[in-house]
Structure 1
């Protein structure tokens, strides 16, 4: 049984809250294996937190944007002060206490052209499990409630911190080029792992590139369950766990409709695209671009995904063949180095 603690900022609940949560887990586990993951800005982590995480084997996700000045552009404390140095010290504490951690980095308007530098900065922090997510945020002033749905208008304006439409692809390509030279098998990047799995015929391990949605339900502090953590709007409220079991809510017709809509509302452009099998239209929340002659809106990040999938295709194909022949993904590095030396 997996518990994923996130917020807001989960450390605000206080350490005693999690001590009590772990005690309840142990009391009611009934022989089941219980795991805890914890997504945090890491500002509040001290030795007491680190010791608790280590003792109870929490997996910590640290939100950090790699390059100090980029991180401090948007990740500032309530007093307006930068936070990078505090996060850096917290990561050092996690490493000192041998706490498993990964890093989550937002790709935005400030760092989309700094993929390699961001990757090197995260390596310097000691991260070996990385995730990169693009931020695409419609300006709240453009949103008008439509029966509780998320429904951006055709002329929606994005918030200024959003990544450019082709910027995420450029960022990921730069990271990939740095990673594939020397870090395959020693550093793990979620997006690359999922893509390699897809090339090998496995289902995508990330919801963004999965065929359907609906596997990332979210629970609020009052027990309300929503279809997805990106869709906490009235129309996507499934019910309350105090009144209905989680299994019933997760398998309800409403949730099935939500999940199937990912495929049912693809544009014709997506349906006919060469990389559809790798992309599956991306996250539905990013489908905000109207297209002439199309009933449904197109994904804002389409250009990025195409850049990324085409750029990585030759190496991904080669790695999948290596693995299927009994090798390991890291075997690609000497082959590439030999090829590039000629």
Structure 2
């Protein structure tokens, strides 16, 4: 569920310029480069695309090290522009030494990013916006198989014995480092552990044929 599925080629918005291409109803919009500090004033063509076309409401957003520092700002920005589906894709690039590149999101930062977005979504936007990682995690809590095309046979025993392995399945092979583990292992473990109580509550509500949206009201009352 960590983004290893085979995806069709997507048109791409480059946030460092005004380029924003046309796309069809079957495509989602991939947004990359520096999403740090985006706003409608500095990127009017992105705002116009999102507001004018229902097809633009499905977004894939690449998260690098800089943009990972403003998770709630980025989430709110695209939410307020009318996005209804968000998939956050971590930028993971390795150097010749095997270490992550300076632009890559670090594992702890990736986990903190997902947790911060989840905290907003679970309290304000369930039923309004779908977030890929959250959808997939809930489906696994409900007993459905993980939708990921990765080979877990080459993973170290530490991964296969991990309590969150059923959710990440070792992540994409392209994200794995010399140890055989995902470069983002600590981040995913943090997110899946943190979100577990909320996911269990949503699963139980669905078992009772109730809406998981009820959790939002419970969380608001507990504040």
Q: Same fold (TM over 0.5)?
A: yes
Q: 1:101 to 1:60 in 2, by over 3 A?
A: farther
Give, in angstroms, the shift of residue 100 of structure 1.
Answer: 5.7
Contact persistence 1:64–1:71 (CA under 8 A): no
Q: Tell me, yes or no, if structure 1 residue 99 matches structure 2 residue 58.
A: no
Q: State how far apart, in whole Å, the 1-side matches of 2:20 and 2:73 are.
A: 26
1:183 to 116, 125, 135: 125
Q: Tell me, yes or no, if structure 1 residue 138 matches structure 2 residue 27.
A: no
Structure showing greater radius of gyration is 1
Cα shift readout 1:113-142 (whole Å, capped 9, x = no counterpart): 211111111112211111101111123xx2
1:203 to 138, 142, 145: 145
Aligned partner of 1:276 in structure 2 is 165
Give, in angstroms, the shift of residue 274 of structure 1.
Answer: 1.4
Q: State how far apart, in whole Å, the 2-side matches of 1:68 and 1:306 are.
A: 25
After superposition, where does 1:116-127 map in structure 2 within 5 Å? Answer: 116-127=72-83
Q: State how far apart, in whole Å, the 2-side matches of 1:5 and 1:302 are.
A: 26
Q: State how far apart, in whole Å, the 2-side matches of 1:157 and 1:110 are.
A: 17
Higher relative contact order (CA 8 A, sep 6+): 2
Aligned partner of 1:255 in structure 2 is none
Give, in angstroms, the shift of residue 160 of structure 1.
Answer: 1.6
Contact persistence 1:66–1:105 (CA under 8 A): no
Q: In structure 2, the residue corresponding to 1:288 is in which secondary structure? A: coil
Q: TM-score, normalization: structure 2?
A: 0.85
Q: In structure 2, the residue corresponding to 1:126 is in which secondary structure? A: coil
Contact persistence 1:67–1:121 (CA under 8 A): no
Contact persistence 1:64–1:87 (CA under 8 A): no
Give, in angstroms, the shift of residue 112 of structure 1.
Answer: 1.4
Residue ranges of structure 2 left out of the alignment (5+ in a row): 1-6
Q: State how far apart, in whole Å, the 2-side matches of 1:302 and 1:41 are.
A: 28
1:323 to 187, 206, 210: 206
Aligned partner of 1:85 in structure 2 is 44
Q: TM-score, normalization: structure 1?
A: 0.57
Give, in angstroms, the shift of residue 41 of structure 1.
Answer: 2.3
Give, in angstroms, the shift of residue 86 of structure 1.
Answer: 2.5
Residue ranges of structure 1 left out of the alignment (5+ in a row): 7-37, 73-82, 143-154, 214-261, 291-296
Q: 1:313 to 1:162 in 2, by over 3 A?
A: same
Q: State how far apart, in whole Å, the 1-side matches of 2:94 and 2:159 are.
A: 22
Give, in angstroms, the shift of residue 195 of structure 1.
Answer: 0.4
